[in-house]
Structure 1
Amino acid sequence: MYLSRVQIDYDNRAKIRDLTHLGAFHNWVEQSFPDEISEGRHSRKLWRVDALKGKRYLLIVSESQPNREKLERYGVVGTAQSKDYDTFLSSLQQSHRYNFRVELNPVTTVTDSSGKKRKIPVGAANNQLQWFLGHAEQFGVEFQPDSVLLTSRGEKILKHRKQRVTLSSAIFEGMLTVIDVDALKSVLTNGFGREKAYGFGLLTLIPAQ
């Protein structure tokens, strides 16, 4: 596995004019793996746009290493980098503590009067936070409740097959303790929740000091 990133060149408006919706970012990610395209195969890639010290980066977790030139298509030249992710995954141990960040598409299942089930967005901020904390077991962790914050929420646009869809977004940050290493590894490599192809579900960790 590889963890890659590139600084998005937002200062060059002509260069990034296509990046107006989640589908465009998805296409950028997929095009960064030309070997897969030529071989007619497709592997899961998790991605997210992050802000750090006033700059925004595209992060990708993938099975293979992306093509540097393709990764810098909308990025600042010379900022693309990839590192081995398996070493970090192998270092995970039960009871270790980490600071985390994840962007999710919070939805819940409801049943209407006809008995049909459908997905709807989790609405209020407090409900989104409780929804997130309720998934600790699936993450294989114990969240430190007082440290977990909903740092950003809103809506993002996805244009796909001539359709325009609005997806709810919520970014959670805080501290966690590892309870089930295998479950956590699965989330780190496969993502969590819905719309993983469109920038949701990538969990990142930094060892707590």
Structure 2
Amino acid sequence: MFLTRFRLNTARPGARRLLSSPQAMHAAVMSSFPTLLPTDTPPTTGPRVLWRVDHTTRAEVMLYIVGPDRPDLTHLVEQAGWPAAAAADPDRPGWQTRPYAPFLARLEADSVWAFRLTANPVHSIRRTEGEPTKRTAHLTPRHQMDWLLKRQKDSGFRILEKPLDQRRLPDGDQYQLIVRDRRDLSFGKTEHTTGRKNRVTLTTATFDGRLQVTDPDALRRTLTSGLGKAKAYGCGLMTLAPAR
């Protein structure tokens, strides 16, 4: 497994096109892996290609990719990076890739990490008796937070709670967790097999917080297989950083 980071040059039309369409970004990410075809069906279990876009500031937008092989992002540098700078320094091609396995192997029970996750928090509802269930997005930060809390045990971690003297609200403020950057996305999708054009709509939210590892093996699966739905559209990738 490999973890890759790429900074998009938001002044370039190619970067703006990719950022406006998760379908286009998905195709660009998958094209980074020579052994994978765009029509390959993603695995239902086990490692897969995951990606996430972080809007750190208006001028700094980062693309993170986790995949089973080392990617080649030359085409992304040409479309949405700084190709002249990359050509001038062969040792710095415009992205950074590191082996992920050594980090995953170091995860230990009870260790504490800061985390970030962009996800598609949804639930299934049935409005009337006998009606088929329909997948519906959670729209409020409280419900989106509950969505993640319900998945923490099976995913191998526990979100830490705040000390009592840091809780400012009477309800829903006990966790070291914030929900931000909610986005309602709508974009076109072309089916590879039929060529038919569809419209995809989904809601995403980004979670920042601190967690404690409860099951290292389960957390490794979460980090390499993703969490939740819409993984092809930039959801499900959780990354960890040392907790301060």
Q: What is the percent sequence identity of the aligned residues? A: 32
| Worse-matched range after superposition: 170-179 or 150-159 | 150-159
Deviations along 1:124-182, whole A, 9 cap, x unmatched? 22111122112111221110143111122121223212222221011111100000011
CA contact (8 A) 1:101 1:171 kept: yes
Residue in 2 aligned with 1:194? 229
CA distance in 1, matches of 2:227, 2:32: 22
Output the CA distance in 2 between the equivalents of 1:42 and 1:64: 16
* C-alpha displacement of 1:115: 4.3
1:11 Cα deviation after fit? 1.1
Count of aligned pairs between the two proteins? 207
Cα distance in 2 for partners of 1:92, 1:141 equals 11
Q: Which stretches in structure 2 are left out of the alignment for 5+ residues?
A: 43-47, 87-93, 162-174, 191-196
| TM-score with structure 1 setting the length | 0.91
Question: Structure 1: any 5+ residue segments left out of the alignment?
Answer: none
User: Which has more strand, going by share of residues?
Assistant: 1
Counterpart residue number, 2:135? 119
Match of 1:56 in 2: 61
Which of 89, 92, 108 is the equivalent residue of 2:104? 89
- 3-state SS of 1:36 partner: coil
Q: Which residue of 1 aligns with 2:49?
A: 45
Change (3 A) 1:29 1:188: same
User: Is residue 158–residue 167 contact of structure 1 (8 Å, CA) maintained in 2?
Assistant: no
1:66 maps to 2:59: no
Shift of 1:41: 5.5
Residues 147/69 of structure 1: CA separation in 2 closer, same or farther (3 Å cut): same
Is 1:144 equivalent to 2:160 in the alignment? yes
Q: Please state how far the C-alpha of 1:17 moved relative to its aligned partner.
A: 5.0
Quote how far apart the aligned CAs of 1:34 are: 2.6
User: Max radius of gyration: which structure?
Assistant: 2
Alignment match, 2:25: 25
CA contact (8 A) 2:10 2:16 kept: no
State the secondary structure of the residue aligned to 1:18: helix
- 2:206 is matched with which residue? 171
Task: Summarize deviations over 1:62-96 as a string: whole Å, max 9, x none.
Answer: 00011131342422333211000001000000000
Letter aligned with residue 178 of structure 2: L
TM-score w.r.t. length of structure 2: 0.79
Cα separation, partners in 2 of 1:68 and 1:168, compared to 1, 3 Å:
closer
Find the residue that maps to 2:35 and give its secondary structure. Answer: helix
Higher mean alpha-carbon deviation, 140-149 vs 115-124, is at 115-124
Aligned-residue CA RMSD in angstroms? 1.9
